[in-house]
């Protein structure tokens, strides 16, 4: 009898411990979702760091500061811009890829860091698809094909014909090997059968200066760098790289309109976070950035810089990154684009 009572007591005790264990396991299973929800509800509760993988003053830096300012106004938390240049943006991008996935470290990425570098650098320390969570596609910056007034071509087709009649005699400048302008022009070469020779510079500014002086014949670069010179007649614009004409240059046709259907080679910019960043924090960031991009004030500010706001979902931005990786790989693999 005593034995039977002890055994019943033992069973009751065991059942109690098992129930407690199951409750604990259930609580542990529910914790991540609860923790994520709490994190999103309280986010942000401290300053956010946004890394720009280039020196201050360029388009990436300008866009990061514009978005950072809007987030600060909306949330009452400062967004600290940290410039980490080097290796075509790879150093700064890698720093974000290895940061904590808590929403407090972001990267203002662009076509180079997220779509070009994997094919350009054989030992790239990060993977733009698996190491980042796409947050927001911020803007497109159309490239503009401009020539020195001494070049007789008045259209894209005339320029292509001129190149074919003078193989290797027309030079183009860019901000350096592997730059967006270098890629856009080599893509143009491949699509049109042209043979413009590359003269790399240490920045877009020096390339435009030499174009104005007639040392080189053409540049295919972001609109902000050449808008003033086009408007005052120092340079002739032949085409823009975007699918549609841009408001800043309404009389300049697209390359596609000029006889090369499907051509598109815009620069683009967007924000990514470390891959482990909770999806609800990503969504909260995306919603606030899209709200800023939809405001008339920021749209006008971007238009003045030759940029086009592109509010969208994280999924759409992720699809852009994947498609651009595929687009630029053959251009780089052709051997005409190399790093310094």
Cross-strand partners of 139 = 269, 309
301 has a pLDDT exceeding 50: yes
Looking at the structure, tell me whether residues 149 and 90 fall in a common domain: no
Task: Please state, in angstroms and rounded to a whole number, the distance separating the CA atoms of residues 211 and 146.
Answer: 9
SS3 per-residue string spanning the chain: CHHHHHHHHHHHHHHHHHHHHHHHHHHHHHHHHHHHHHHHHHCCCCCEEEEECCCCCCHHHHHHHHHHHHHHHHHCCCEEEEECCCHHHHHHHHHHHCCCCCCCEEEEEEHHHHHHHHHHCCCCCCCCCCCEEEEEEEEEECEEEEECCCCCCCCHHHHHHHHHHCCCCCEEEECCCCCHHHHHHHHHHHHHCCCCEEEECCCHHHHHHHHHCCCCCEEEEEHHHCHHHHHCCCCEEEEECCCCCCCCCCCCCECCCCCCCCCCCCEEEEEEEECCCCHHHHHHHHHHHHHHHCCHHHHHHHHHCCCEECCCCHHHHHHHHHHHHHHHHHHHHHHHCCCC
Domain assignment present for 252? no
Looking at the structure, tell me whether residues 288 and 330 fall in a common domain: yes
Domain assignment present for 9? no
Contact 140, 307 (CB under 8 A): yes
The CATH code of the domain that includes 203 is 3.40.190.10
The CATH code of the domain that includes 303 is 3.40.190.150
Looking at the structure, tell me whether residues 119 and 148 fall in a common domain: no
Domain assignment present for 161? yes
Where among 240, 255, 288 does a domain terminate? 240
Average pLDDT over residues 198-219: 91
pLDDT value for 31: 44
* Residue 122 neighbours by CB distance under 10 Å: 7
Look at the chain and report how many structural domains it folds into.
Answer: 2
Average pLDDT over residues 217-228: 90
With a pLDDT cut of 90, the percent of the chain lying above it is 61
Domain assignment present for 331? yes
253 has a pLDDT exceeding 70: yes
* Residue 47 neighbours by CB distance under 10 Å: 11
Instruction: Categorize the per-residue pLDDT at 39 as very low, low, confident or very high, splitting at 50, 70 and 90.
Output: low
Looking at the structure, tell me whether residues 111 and 153 fall in a common domain: no
pTM of the model: 0.75
Contact 289, 155 (CB under 8 A): no
Task: Please state, in angstroms and rounded to a whole number, the distance separating the CA atoms of residues 51 and 56.
Answer: 11
pLDDT value for 37: 52
Domain with 90, as residue range(s), is 48-141+267-336
Domain assignment present for 134? yes
Instruction: Categorize the per-residue pLDDT at 11 as very low, low, confident or very high, splitting at 50, 70 and 90.
Output: very low
Where among 240, 256, 284 does a domain terminate? 240
pLDDT value for 299: 87
118 has a pLDDT exceeding 80: yes
Q: Which range in 28-32, 168-172, 182-186, 311-315 is most confidently predicted, on average pLDDT?
A: 311-315
Nearest CA among 116, 113, 140, 321 for reference residue 240: 140
10 has a pLDDT exceeding 50: no
């Amino acid at each position: 009898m005593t034995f039977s009572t002890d055994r019943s007591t033992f069973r009751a005790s065991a059942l109690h411990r098992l129930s407690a264990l199951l409750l604990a396991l259930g609580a542990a299973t529910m914790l991540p979702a609860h923790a994520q929800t709490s994190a999103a509800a309280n986010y942000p509760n401290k300053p956010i760091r946004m890394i720009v993988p280039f020196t201050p003053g360029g388009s990436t830096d300008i866009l990061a500061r514009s978005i950072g300012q809007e987030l600060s106004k909306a949330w009452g938390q400062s967004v600290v811009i940290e410039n980490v240049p080097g290796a075509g943006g790879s150093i700064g991008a890698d720093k974000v890829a290895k940061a904590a996935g808590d929403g407090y470290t972001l990267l203002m990425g662009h076509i180079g860091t997220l779509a070009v570098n994997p094919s350009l650098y054989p030992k790239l320390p990060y993977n733009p698809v698996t190491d980042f969570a796409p947050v927001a596609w911020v803007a497109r910056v159309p490239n503009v094909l401009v020539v020195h007034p001494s070049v007789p071509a008045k259209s894209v087709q005339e320029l292509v014909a001129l190149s074919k009649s003078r193989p290797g005699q027309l030079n183009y400048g860019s901000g350096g090997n592997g730059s967006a302008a270098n890629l856009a022009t080599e893509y143009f070469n491949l699509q049109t059968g042209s043979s413009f020779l590359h003269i790399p510079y240490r920045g877009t500014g020096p390339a435009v200066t030499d174009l104005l002086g007639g040392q080189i014949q053409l540049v295919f670069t972001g609109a902000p760098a050449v808008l003033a010179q086009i408007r005052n007649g120092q340079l002739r614009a032949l085409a823009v790289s975007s699918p549609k004409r841009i408001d800043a240059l309404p009389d300049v046709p697209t390359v596609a309109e000029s006889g090369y259907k499907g051509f598109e080679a815009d620069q683009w910019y967007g924000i990514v976070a470390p891959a482990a960043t909770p999806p609800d924090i990503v969504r909260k960031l995306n919603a606030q950035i899209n709200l800023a991009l939809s405001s008339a004030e920021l749209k006008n500010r971007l238009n003045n810089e030759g940029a086009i706001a592109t509010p969208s979902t994280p999924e759409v931005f992720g699809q852009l990154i994947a498609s651009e990786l595929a687009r630029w790989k053959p251009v780089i693999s052709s051997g005409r684009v190399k790093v310094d």
